[in-house]
Structure 1
Amino acid sequence: MEDLFHELQLQSEVSNPNNPQASIVIVDCRFSLMQPHLGRQQYETSHLPGAYYLDLNQDLSSPVATHGGRHPLPNPDVLAVQLTAMGITPETLVVAYDDSRLAFAARLWWLLRYLGHDRVAVLNGGWSAWQAAGLPTTTEIPPPRPGAFVPCPNPQEIVDIQDIRAGLQPIESRHQSQPDPGAPIVLIDSRESVRYRGESEPIDPIAGHIPGAVNYPWQEVTDENGFVQSLETQRDRWKSLSANQPSPEIIAYCGSGVTACVNLLSLYQVGIPAKLYPGSWSDWCSYLV
């Protein structure tokens, strides 16, 4: 299954008269953490033909509680109703896009795989690549279609704070550039380096990182234009993980379980299994306040 679609490839697929209407479903995932309504406004102004919209806060997350982070995983059955209304069946290829270097499209990519739907990809380069290619856009919102999405969450794909605590060895809270050889788990902090080091924290109440975590900023998966780096570049980036023997359990986190999915997409592409800590730093630090 191809995880990356280029804009011309996607245009060719959706315009192919031999493809059934619901064989590909496109989902617009544009969003802004600082302006939560902006993504939907952008979608209503212009989007890929036939694309539906899913909102990070309203659709791809469940309500925030005291613990669990700023973007808890959505209720599978609630999300399944929306996905079914988009015409998604087990045979449907879902292609997600955004305009934020996959920050939100990768969340949907990961969620669908977590729910048992492997036929999912992201649009490489996102909205910007589609526009730069001069491809058609629309304001028309597609109607509901008949579908049948049955969620089958895989608990092996996620961990919670108790799993993290159980896997941590007694280690001092220091900045690490490489994983500790022989550690039972490797925690990947996917946030910007200044947040990892605790020098800046614009969102959560406490700065810093989970003890022992190593920093792999999610933005490094793509170039400045939002295109995913070559497989060679990605393999080189993760080589310290693949070299560890015996293989540790690799767990990715970020601020709230969203941008860590970009790193999970990259790890998947190079064949390194990894799990998500959905609550991420916002869950971890909620126990420190």
Structure 2
Amino acid sequence: MNNNQFVVSPEWLFAHLNDFQVVIVDCRFSLADPQLGKKQYQESHIPGAYYLDLNQDLSSPVSEHGGRHPLPHPHELADKLAQIGIEFQKTLVVAYDDSRFAFASRLWWLLRYLGHDNVAVLDGGLTGWQKAGYPVTNEIPVPKMGTFTPQLKDEQVVDYTYVKNFKDSPDVTLVDSREGDRYRGEREPIDKIAGHIPGAVNYPWQEVTDASGFLLPQSEQRQRWKQLEPTKEILVYCGSGVTACVNLLSLEIAGIYTGKLYAGSWSDWISH
């Protein structure tokens, strides 16, 4: 592991590929083509990795409110985690994607929300892994049975009413994690309405990594959030509560533990 416990390097993971206390999860996904991640996984993945799908596993079905990717039902997700050999609060879970942590961070956040802090994302994702010369396979690992009894940290997540009531309070900052042009409402490729929640400041999630998907140094993560450090509560959102988790990861790497996820995010906000 490197200087913070939230990220592992390809070198570290390669050295621990056969460690029975490590479970690797492939989280690749494409919003434009929801089947793509699973297909890519079936073609090639890090040896021993299991696949969890953003729509099928890491979200629950869409309804009128709650946004495009409502949080999964805790016990349903817990069952799926147990079926890939994750032992609650014991196993180290390493999540990876190929989208600069966009989907791996969702699993990172969800595990911690369920009370399992022993989770990290793979620095550089699958591309970084392959560029370092490490192997991939198309062999699907057999399910292993773990035991996973979630202990929800409800205080980590906020809903529409909470955001509406507290967003203008002096010790709360609302952070929009989308690209600048979506925040400003100049472009909206997914949701019915463009713009942002009144009072939100913009910290695009892509700023957490470099163009190759490697985490920027801890000092840069600290610098990035410096202005918000005195805030008692940082409420983070994006389009649907997925890429906001990249910013929540960045906050923790910076040593700021006041971040909370507005799970429904912009897609929920505009449904009210």
Q: Distance in 1 between matches of 2:59 and 2:100?
A: 20
Report the number of matched residues. Answer: 267
The correspondence of residues 37-56 of structure 1 with structure 2, limited to 5 A, is 37-56=35-54
The one-character-per-residue Cα deviations of 1:80-132 (angstroms, maximum 9, x if unpaired) are 11110111103100000000000000000000000000000000000001110
The one-character-per-residue Cα deviations of 1:184-233 (angstroms, maximum 9, x if unpaired) are 31000000000000000000000000000000000000000000100111
Match of 2:245 in 1: 261
Tell me how far 1:14 sits from its aligned partner.
1.8
The correspondence of residues 218-237 of structure 1 with structure 2, limited to 5 A, is 218-237=205-224
Q: Residue type of the partner of 2:213?
A: G
Q: Distance in 1 between matches of 2:99 and 2:145?
A: 30
Match of 2:267 in 1: 282
Q: SS state of the match for residue 286, structure 1?
A: coil
Asked which structure has the greater CA Rg, the reply is 1
Q: Distance in 2 between matches of 1:2 and 1:40?
A: 28
Alignment pair present for 1:217 and 2:216:
no
RMSD: 1.0
Does the 8 Å contact 2:222/2:255 carry over to 1? no
Does the 8 Å contact 1:159/1:275 carry over to 2? yes
Tell me how far 1:136 sits from its aligned partner.
1.0
Structure 2 alignment gaps of length 5 or more: none
Q: Distance in 2 between matches of 1:168 and 1:215?
A: 14
The correspondence of residues 1-289 of structure 1 with structure 2, limited to 5 A, is 2-15=5-18, 19=19, 21=20, 23-89=21-87, 90-169=89-168, 183-242=170-229, 244=230, 247-272=231-256, 273-287=258-272
Greater CA drift, 135-144 or 217-226: 135-144
Does the 8 Å contact 2:17/2:47 carry over to 1? no
The one-character-per-residue Cα deviations of 1:47-91 (angstroms, maximum 9, x if unpaired) are 000000000000000000000000000001111111101111031
Does the 8 Å contact 1:183/1:248 carry over to 2? no
The one-character-per-residue Cα deviations of 1:143-179 (angstroms, maximum 9, x if unpaired) are 111200111111100000100111133xxxxxxxxxx
TM-score (structure 1 length as normaliser): 0.91
Structure 1 alignment gaps of length 5 or more: 170-181
Where has structure 1 moved over 2 Å in runs of 4 or more? none
Q: SS state of the match for residue 170, structure 2?
A: coil
Q: Distance in 2 between matches of 1:8 and 1:192?
A: 31
Q: SS state of the match for residue 251, structure 1?
A: strand
